[in-house]
């Protein structure tokens, strides 16, 4: 158990819809990262938050957004969903600059 909790585990929805993925980091970890894992793109970094502030952006689409709340949990919002958004979305957290990232079990998003 990594200590990172992601909900829901599975999400099935239709094109054009909007979903919210939730992540609770390990106790004490200030940094939260979101990654997308798909068959064609592999594992890609989306966005990082540190103590409530956006710290870095990766290959995140404009239709996607995220935030980190005062209690340090984070949400990834995906809107106007397309078939190609079907993927496994991982959240990871870390304690500090030299510390490794610990991953949750992911949310599997299926767009029908």
Give residues in contact with other proteins (CB under 8 A): 2, 4, 31, 33, 35, 42-45, 48, 55-56, 58, 90, 92, 94, 97-98, 100-106
Name the residue nearer to other proteins (CB basis): 59 or 80. Answer: 59
Q: How far is the CB of 44 from other proteins (least distance, A)?
A: 8
Question: 12 is written with which tokens?
Answer: 């099935």
Smallest gap from Cβ 81 to other proteins, in A, equals 22
List the structure tokens of 74.
């984070």
Q: Which residues pair with 83 in a beta bridge?
A: none
Residue 91 Cα distances to 14, 15, 68, angstroms: 23, 23, 12
Distance CA 112, CA 108 (A): 13
- The smaller minimum CB distance to other proteins, of residues 36 and 111, is found at 36
Distance, CA of 11 to chain centre: 14
The least distance separating other proteins from the CB of residue 98, rounded to whole angstroms, comes to 5
């Amino acid at each position: 158990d990594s200590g990172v909790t992601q909900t829901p585990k599975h999400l099935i929805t239709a094109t054009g819809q909007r979903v919210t993925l939730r992540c609770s980091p390990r106790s004490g970890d200030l940094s939260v990262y979101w990654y997308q894992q798909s068959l064609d793109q592999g594992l890609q970094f989306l966005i990082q938050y540190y103590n409530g502030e956006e710290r870095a952006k990766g290959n995140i689409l404009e239709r996607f957004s995220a935030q980190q709340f005062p209690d340090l949990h984070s949400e990834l919002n995906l809107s106007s969903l397309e078939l190609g958004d079907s993927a496994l979305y991982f959240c990871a957290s870390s304690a500090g600059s030299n510390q490794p990232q610990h991953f949750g079990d992911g949310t599997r998003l299926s767009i029908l």
